[in-house]
């Protein structure tokens, strides 16, 4: 039995799961929200809530796995947390000021609470560490990029890795023989192009802001917009960053991030919800087209995460009119409700289209269990 407590610590929420890495079973999971308000003043209090809820499920843990968003230039293997790693993560906070500090807090309170267990950091950037230089490099001054560690890092890597491995298993094909596009569409959203198990491009960059339209993030934007807002509209850097991260995307355009509500609003004739949706789909289709060209041909396109797993209309609109490119959905299969990994493409489709539920907690638990057994 290799039970791992997986902790995903955000600024105001803490998601947790106890997962058996061998069987893949989740013994318990949940989320503590509204950290910093009222009853749960801080991450230490949140963790205490988790411990109270887990109670018996805490027995027999072999490790605590921490999801860390940004591993920077050097951290990409699952890494045992010690004081030196914590110091490195503190340094990295400048590269990911919105995402890494809460993970650090989670790590520090969990280490104090569970000092007898190995704590392991698993990085969201890891999978994309070896992106081809042509995909990883911004066309900016080389010296500045090097000095400030500016490259395209990519995020959601744990999910892209897990889902692409499962897609190959689903197809019954060796991973190294399959060309894939993975569309991770949750509140955060990213696409990746994977050639034979090796990611060759992904839509997020230095930070998780680049690429697709997301719940609250703009995705791709002309950097000129930022300097214009700063110089002419006199917005501060903090305001611009906060706007692009928290008040942009579906929220900024249509006032709502939940696609179920967006759909209702569109049906009741709300023009801003319609525009938000249209921008979202347009961007998604552009990335699919781009990755088709990057890969040359695509064996499988997989939808995953909250929107990708559940929103049949997004899936339909993302891929409509692409039969000349060898991509055809089966309308019936697309709308059949299921929680399982499944095919939704037509038999005649050259590219197989799948829906595969992501399971980042299981993937993190497995990575931790592997490291623990190597350290023994
Ligand atoms: P996160 O990035 O926070 O992990 P998730 O992958 O859980 O996000 O995705 C959450 C989003 O998934 C919700 O905001 C909502 O838009 C969408 N979603 C969840 N369930 C459904 C559903 N049944 N139909 C359409 N969209 C859904």
Interval between CA 310 and ligand 1 midpoint (Å): 8
What integer pLDDT is reported at residue 231 of this predicted model? Answer: 97
What integer pLDDT is reported at residue 280 of this predicted model? Answer: 98
25 given a catalytic annotation:
no
What integer pLDDT is reported at residue 256 of this predicted model? Answer: 96
Helix residue ranges, H only, the chain: 43-54, 83-92, 100-113, 133-136, 142-147, 157-171, 223-231, 237-246, 249-254, 259-267, 271-295, 305-310, 312-319, 331-335, 360-375
Q: Indicate the SS3 state at residue 180.
A: strand
* Chain position carrying tokens 């967006």: 262
Query: Which residue minimizes the CA distance to atom 13 of ligand 1?
Result: 258
Looking from the CA of residue 187, the nearest atom of ligand 1 is 2
Structurally, at CATH architecture level, domain 3-123 sits in 2-Layer Sandwich (3.30)
Report whether residue 128 contacts ligand 1, using a CB cutoff of 6 Å.
no
Sheet of strand 198-202, all strands in order from the earlier edge strand to the far edge = 198-202, 189-195, 179-185, 300-304, 352-355, 342-343
Interval between CA 355 and ligand 1 midpoint (Å): 14
- Residue extents of the structural domains in the chain: 3-123, 174-355
Active-site residue identified among 124, 201, 299, 359: 124
Give the C-alpha separation, 75 to 92, whole Å. Answer: 10
Tokens of 33: 């929200």
Q: What is the pLDDT along the chain (376 residues), one digit of tens a residue?
A: 799 999 999 888 899 999 999 999 999 999 999 998 888 998 889 988 998 898 888 889 999 999 999 999 999 999 999 999 999 999 999 888 888 998 999 999 999 999 999 999 999 999 999 999 999 999 999 999 999 999 999 999 999 999 999 999 999 999 999 999 999 999 999 999 999 999 999 999 999 999 999 999 999 999 999 999 999 999 999 999 999 999 999 999 999 999 999 999 999 999 999 999 999 999 999 999 999 999 999 999 999 999 999 999 999 999 999 999 999 999 999 999 999 999 999 999 999 999 999 999 999 999 999 999 998 8
What integer pLDDT is reported at residue 11 of this predicted model? Answer: 81
Say if 3-123 and 174-355 have the same CATH topology.
Answer: yes
Interval between CA 182 and ligand 1 midpoint (Å): 16
**3-57 pLDDT per residue, tens:** 999 999 988 889 999 999 999 999 999 999 999 888 899 888 998 899 889 888 8
What integer pLDDT is reported at residue 59 of this predicted model? Answer: 87
Query: Which residue minimizes the CA distance to atom 14 of ligand 1?
Result: 258
Distances (CA, A) of 243 to 217, 231, 251: 8, 16, 10
Tell which residue, 40, 29, 37, has the closest CA to residue 7: 29
- Domain 174-355, classified CATH 3.30.465.10, yes or no: no
Residue pair 43/96 in contact by the 8 Å Cβ criterion: no
Looking from the CA of residue 314, the nearest atom of ligand 1 is 25
Report whether residue 188 contacts ligand 1, using a CB cutoff of 6 Å.
yes
Would the CA dihedral through 107, 109, 115, 117 be positive or negative?
Answer: negative
């Amino acid at each position: 039995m290799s039970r791992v407590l997986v902790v995903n610590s955000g600024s105001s929420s803490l998601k947790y799961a106890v997962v058996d890495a061998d069987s893949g079973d989740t013994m318990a999971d949940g989320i503590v929200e509204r950290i910093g308000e009222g009853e749960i003043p801080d991450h230490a209090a949140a963790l205490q809530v988790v411990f109270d809820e887990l109670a018996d499920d805490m027995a027999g843990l072999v490790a605590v796995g921490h999801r860390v968003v940004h591993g920077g230039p050097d951290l990409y293997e699952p890494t045992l947390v010690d004081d030196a790693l914590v110091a490195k993560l503190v340094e990295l906070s400048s590269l990911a000021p919105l995402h890494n500090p809460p993970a650090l807090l989670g790590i520090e309170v969990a280490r104090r609470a569970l000092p007898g267990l190995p704590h392991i950091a698993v990085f969201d950037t890891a999978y994309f560490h070896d992106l081809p230089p042509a995909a990883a490099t911004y066309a900016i001054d080389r010296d500045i990029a090097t000095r400030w560690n500016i490259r395209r890092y990519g995020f959601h890597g744990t999910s892209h890795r897990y889902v692409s491995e499962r897609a190959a298993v689903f197809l019954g094909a060796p991973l190294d023989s399959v060309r894939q596009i993975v569309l991770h569409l949750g509140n955060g959203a990213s696409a990746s192009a994977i050639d034979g198990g090796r990611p060759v491009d992904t839509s997020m960059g230095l930070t998780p802001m680049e690429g697709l339209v997301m719940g609250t993030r703009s995705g791709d934007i002309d950097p000129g917009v930022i300097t214009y807002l700063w110089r002419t509209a006199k917005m501060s850097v903090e305001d611009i960053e906060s706007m692009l991260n928290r008040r942009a995307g579906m929220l900024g355009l249509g006032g709502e991030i939940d696609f179920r509500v967006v759909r209702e609003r569109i049906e009741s004739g709300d023009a801003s919800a319609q525009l938000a949706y249209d921008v979202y789909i347009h961007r998604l289709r552009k990335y699919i087209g781009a990755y088709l060209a990057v890969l040359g041909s695509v064996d499988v396109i997989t939808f995953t995460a909250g929107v990708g797993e559940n929103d049949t209309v997004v899936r339909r609109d993302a891929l409509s009119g692409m039969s000349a490119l060898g991509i055809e959905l089966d309308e019936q299969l697309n709308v059949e409700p299921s929680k399982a990994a499944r095919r939704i493409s037509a038999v005649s489709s050259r590219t197989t289209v799948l829906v595969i539920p992501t399971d980042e907690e299981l993937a993190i638990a497995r990575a931790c269990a592997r490291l623990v057994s190597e350290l023994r």
